[in-house]
Amino acid sequence: MLLNEFNESPAIVLAEALRPCLDVDRWINQIIASRPYASAEHVFAEAQLAASPFTAGEVASALAHHPRIGERLPGSGREAALSAAEQAGIDPADAAVTAQLLDGNRAYEEKFGRVFLIRALGRSPADILSALRERLTNPPEAEESIVAGQLREIALLRLKEVIAP
């Protein structure tokens, strides 16, 4: 979407374009309410501001839409396509990696009560597994901050797929 279209789209249309980036109403509404933007960089700066900080409820809501690392979202919608592109480096046919991710995801969910979230784009499966194992050693309060940061990174990367600079 070009900046002009972003600035002029009806709020409901823009909300539907933003929701696959991050399904947090406050974030979406703040970006929409701050229009018009002079540049794509201004949109990204506002998105970063709107994402800092997230409440615990917003993080929980957003994580409800994220698949486990190594799994794919079902369907063919925009969010499923973005997730598949982000996890393109993880080969579901690699049984060893898939098993390790499954075990790591399960351990993470047991410890923290939520899905493991990491910006997978540009990371190798070995990097993701290493980060997963390292983060399993974190106390819950440290992990809260890391998860919110990862959520911000993912939202901004996805937003850059929505609006052309």
Asked if the model's pLDDT at residue 107 lies above 80, the reply is: yes
Neighbour tally for 68: CB within 10 Å: 17
CA–CA dist 83, 21 (Å, integer): 10
Q: How confident is the model at residue 98 (pLDDT cuts 50, 70, 90)?
A: confident
Mean pLDDT estimate for the chain: 86
CA–CA dist 21, 94 (Å, integer): 28
Q: How confident is the model at residue 99 (pLDDT cuts 50, 70, 90)?
A: confident
Instruction: Give the phi and the psi of residue 94 in degrees, each rounded to 5.
Output: -80, 95
Asked if the model's pLDDT at residue 111 lies above 90, the reply is: yes
- DSSP secondary structure of 74-122: SSSSHHHHHHHHHTTTS-TT-HHHHHHHHHHHHHHHHHHSS------TT
* pLDDT at site 131: 95
Q: Please say whether the beta carbons of 161 and 81 come within 8 A.
A: no
| pTM for this entry | 0.81
Q: How confident is the model at residue 151 (pLDDT cuts 50, 70, 90)?
A: very high
Question: Which of 35-39, 76-80, 135-139 is the least confident region?
Answer: 76-80
* pLDDT at site 4: 95
Residue found by looking up tokens 């994220």 in the block: 66
Asked if the model's pLDDT at residue 66 lies above 90, the reply is: no
CA–CA dist 165, 151 (Å, integer): 22
Q: How confident is the model at residue 68 (pLDDT cuts 50, 70, 90)?
A: confident
Cα angle value 55/63/73 (rounded, 5°): 160
* pLDDT at site 126: 84
CA–CA dist 4, 37 (Å, integer): 9
Peptide bond between residue 36 and the one before it cis (omega within 30 degrees of 0): yes
Q: Please say whether the beta carbons of 153 and 119 come within 8 A.
A: yes
